Amino acid sequence: AQKVTQAQTEISVVEKEDVTLDCVYETRDTTYYLFWYKQPPSGELVFLIRRNSFDEQNEISGRYSWNFQKSTSSFNFTITASQVVDSAVYFCALSGSAAGNKLTFGGGTRVLVKP
Amino acid sequence: GAVVSQHPSWVICKSGTSVKIECRSLDFQATTMFWYRQFPKQSLMLMATSNEGSKATYEQGVEKDKFLINHASLTLSTLTVTSAHPEDSSFYICSAREQFGNSPLHFGNGTRLTVT
């Protein structure tokens, strides 16, 4: 069975602070994909990143960065110099290797960036 | 980029009526679409996997006779909530993956259903 745990339910920061969102996963698949999605108050899900299990390189995209540690089954997400527009719920998710395999979501972390 | 269109974005219906939600992949073909349900301040829970040309696969605890799924073409899946009750009020989101390749899931904008 697959499981994704986001231990932080809510994080509140002041603008320009950095914020790191934790994600720990469980899977028996040897090949799998990890994702982060952003859900702003309007409700739609915005794709942020996909990482496959064989690629442990960290990634940076603008103010966003991701740290994939296969040894600890973690895929953490950091927002640098947070902005009010970053306020949203962020979901970490896991998908097995089979085509069409379902996506298992973590419980989500609500980020509130105060001006 | 790939776009998934979901309609309607919100709907209010009376208890006992049925509501149909459409999910379309606009610029790609999707043999598989997924339907999720999200209660307020909760995560997304997979309801069912919709397969083009065959029966949907429902997750444990999801009533297939209540949540009818039809995937008649490679670009359209529908979810019908039959005999809706107030406890069915929720946010329903569909997603689709392109037919070929290892692309990520693309999500619709969701449908907020309120049953009065």
B contacts of A91 (beta carbons < 8 Å): 43-44
In the 3-class helix/strand/coil scheme, how is chain A assigned residue by residue?
CCEEECCCCEEEEECCCCEEECCEEECCCCCEEEEEEEECCCCCCEEEEEEECCCCCCEEECCEEEEEEHHHCEEEEEECCCCHHHCEEEEEEEEECCCCCCEEECCCEEEEEEC
Q: How does residue B100 score in pLDDT terms, banded at 50, 70 and 90?
A: low
Nearest CA distance, B69 vs chain A (angstrom): 16
Nearest CA distance, B3 vs chain A (angstrom): 11
Query: With an 8 Å Cβ cutoff, is B110 touching chain A?
Result: yes
Q: How does residue B72 score in pLDDT terms, banded at 50, 70 and 90?
A: confident
B contacts of A100 (beta carbons < 8 Å): 31-32, 49, 97
Mean pLDDT by 10 residues, chain A (115 residues): 93 97 94 93 89 88 95 96 97 78 90 97
Please give the distance of CA B43 from its chain centroid, rounded to a whole number. Answer: 15
Each residue of B37-52: pLDDT tens digit? 999 889 999 999 988 8
Residue A99's pLDDT is: 46
